[in-house]
Every structure is written in C-alpha cells, then in structure tokens.
Amino acid sequence: MNQPQRFAPERIARLDAALAGILDDPAADKSGSARLHRDILADATPFDVLGLNRFADEDPAAIGRIKEEAGKLVHLLHAGLRRFAWNREVHPALVLLRRENAAILAEADALKPLYGNLADPAARAALALRVARFSCLERKFLKAELLLHPALDGFLPSPVPLKVLWSLHDDIRFIVAELGRVLGDPAAGSVALAKTVGRFHALVVGLVEKEELILYPAAATLLSVADWDAVGREAAGFGYAFGADPEPVFDRTRAVAAQGRFAVRTGALDLDQIALVFDALPVELTFVDEYGITRYFNDTREKLFLRTPQIIGRPVENCHPQKSVPVVKKLLSAFAAGAADRAELWVDVRGRFVHIVYTALRDADGRYRGALETVQDATRLRSLEGSKETLDF
C-alpha cells in the first residue's frame, strides 16, 4: 500500500480547515461538520496530525488550549490513525516502549473494579495502594522527555506536539499525587473523588493512546537505526514501568574522547583529560550557546537532574517543561542583551539542598557566547562546622 507523503502541505491544510470548523467555532454544528469532513478525518495520518498548522503557535496559552482539545482531536481522527500502516518492530527499543505501554494499560484496567465502591473506606484504601504504584510512570516520562522527544524534535515541523505531551506528563504526575491524597482523606466526598478518579484514568489511558496512534508510528518511520540504538542504550538506565524491564542487550561502554589538545595561558590538557576533569567535578555543568542550543553537559557520577546525549543540538527551551520555558527565555534574553551576567537560586530537590547558578559567558571583546548552568548538591556543605585538617581516604 502506498503511504501518503510525510507532512504533505495540501493534506495538512485540508485537515486544519476541517478541524477549525469542528473544534474552533463554539457556535458550529460539530456533528454536522464532522459528517461533512468525514473522508478527510478518516484519512488522517500521524504526520498530518504532527504537521497541523494549529501547532505553529508556541505560546503557553496556545499549548494549554491544544492540550485540552487533544482528546477530542484523537477521537475525531481515530479511524484513520488506526489504519495507518507502520512497522511496530522496527527496533527493539520501540518494542520495549510498547511493551511498557501494554503493562500500563493492564494496570489501569485492573483498577476498574475498585472504582465502583468509593464510599467504602476499605475500597478507598485498596485503591490508594494501587494508585501509589503509578509513581513508577516517572520512568516512562523521563525516557520520553530525555530520549525519544529529543530524537524526534529535529524531524517535526513544530515542537508544540512534544511540548503538549510533556505537559500531559506533568498533569499525570500531579493527578497521581492528588488522587493518593484524596483517597486518604476521610472527608473527601464520593462525587469529588469519582471526578478525580475519572480524570486520572482518562489521562493515563489517553497518553498511551496518543503515543500508540501518533508518536510511535511517527518515530518508527522517521528515526534511523542509529537514532533508535542511542535511545535503547540510554533507556535501560531509566527502567520501565510495571515490570516491563528487559534483560540488558545494549553496549553501554563509553565513547573515547577525540584526539587533540587544549592549551591556554594557565596550562594545557589533552581532550580526554578535559573530559575526565569535567566529569570529576562535584557540580553538574550544562552549556548553552549564544543561539540557545544545548552543546554540552558533563557526565558526573551522581546526578540531581538527569540529562541524556539526545539533548545535544536541541533548543534549550525544548529540554524543559512548559511551565519553565518563559523563565528560561527571559534569562537567556537578559544574558544576550547584556542586562545580566549571573543569576542564582537554591531549591529543595528530593530532600537535598541544591544550589544553581547561571552565568553569561562573554569573550575578550564582550560578545555573548552562551550560558553555563552549574548545579551543586550543597546539603553536606551547608551542615559543616568548625574545621577538618586531616585527610581521610
């Protein structure tokens, strides 16, 4: 069967026009409009969806609106997306991601018998224990945010679809914690609890559906074997939700640094020595160039914030959750304009006192060349008192 052209402008324009009449006009006859455009809707492919012109606006409000309509969008296009032919076994890494999704759906379905008796404290307690297990979805989210999304980013006409998915991850993170809290609150009414349960189930199942119908088919088609190899190498380190972990099959040996020499007024190092020095520093470093592109991070042994090689060459704003993007843009704009040279903050991260500094880098002529982020776990340093003058080994 011949596949439609990827990101075909004429197909995308027709679909955009059809969706505008269904989703954007509150006074429109949505059912009638859907019937009028049923052939276009039933012929939609993942590439048509990812290429929609309605995704051109990267404003946070637009992304929020798109996220809210994402479920309706998938429902309207479900028939065409299901018919799209793609290789579900193009690479072992994709097979494992889909196995994880199957495990998540099975776990979600197993909760359904507990939904019907939310007035019973014992049923609530049992449901709370099962919902708490969904905290392991963090493994899935990190693989998507740090591995698969960065690998796909350069192939898509707009980063907005991936931003929407990341925002959905944040929604699920919140609803898992919120549902656990409400289930443990004896004063929570059954109606409010049922609403929270319904949103939890819809978000989890809806995310898997969007991945299986849109994200994974596109990734299977667009990514090369080398791209999938890179995803697979790193994925094992994050683990998989609900016991979907495989036996290790990827080579995790470190690449050898390029040959060469770095020489300045204060000394000289071979490039492999530089890599060793940077990775041994008790701080996490990330360098973003003057164009806002992530160019480097050091590979420290203990990490507060996970990073993967897939972020290299990617716009830094695409490496952050949507709620952080305005702050990142404001900071880099201030650095580039010369309005600021340094910014710092300190935060609690999983019970650790973390100090973060952002520094504008300028050359001898004062030209802005990029920004350096340093992240340090200062928990132990903060607690030190007196002096220690004897070295222990």
* Same fold yes or no, 92-243 and 273-383: no
Type and span of the H or E element at 233: helix 225-238
Class of domain 92-243: mainly alpha
Backbone angles phi, psi at 305, to 5 degrees: -120, 120
Architecture of domain 273-383: 2-Layer Sandwich (3.30)
Contacts for 80-84: CB closer than 8 Å, 24+ residues apart: 80/41, 80/42, 80/43, 80/44, 80/45, 81/44, 81/45, 81/46, 81/49, 81/213, 81/214, 81/217, 82/213, 84/45, 84/46, 84/213, 84/217
Task: Please state, rounded to an integer, the average pLDDT across all residues of the chain.
Answer: 87
What does the domain layout of the chain look like in residue ranges?
Answer: 9-83, 92-243, 273-383
Q: Output the pLDDT for position 2.
A: 46
Segment among 19-28, 56-65, 154-163 with least mean pLDDT: 19-28
179-204 burial code (b ≥16 CB/10 A, e <16): bbebbeeeeeeeeebeebbeebbebb
pTM of the entire predicted model = 0.72
pLDDT digits (tens, 9 = 90+) for 157-209: 999 999 999 999 999 999 999 999 999 888 888 888 889 999 999 999 999 99
CB distance 288 to 371 below 8 Å: yes
Q: What is the pLDDT of residue 170?
A: 95
User: In the beta sheet, which residues pair with residue 287?
Assistant: 296, 372
Q: What is the pLDDT of residues 293-310, one digit of tens each?
A: 999 999 888 888 888 888
Q: How do 352-362 and 267-270 pair as beta strands?
A: unpaired
Least confident stretch, 197-211, 225-239, 260-274, 374-388:
260-274
- On whether the CB atoms of residues 77 and 11 are closer than 8 A, the answer is no
> Per mean pLDDT, which of 36-45, 175-184, 258-267 is the most reliable?
175-184
How many other CB atoms sit within 10 Å of the CB of residue 267?
7
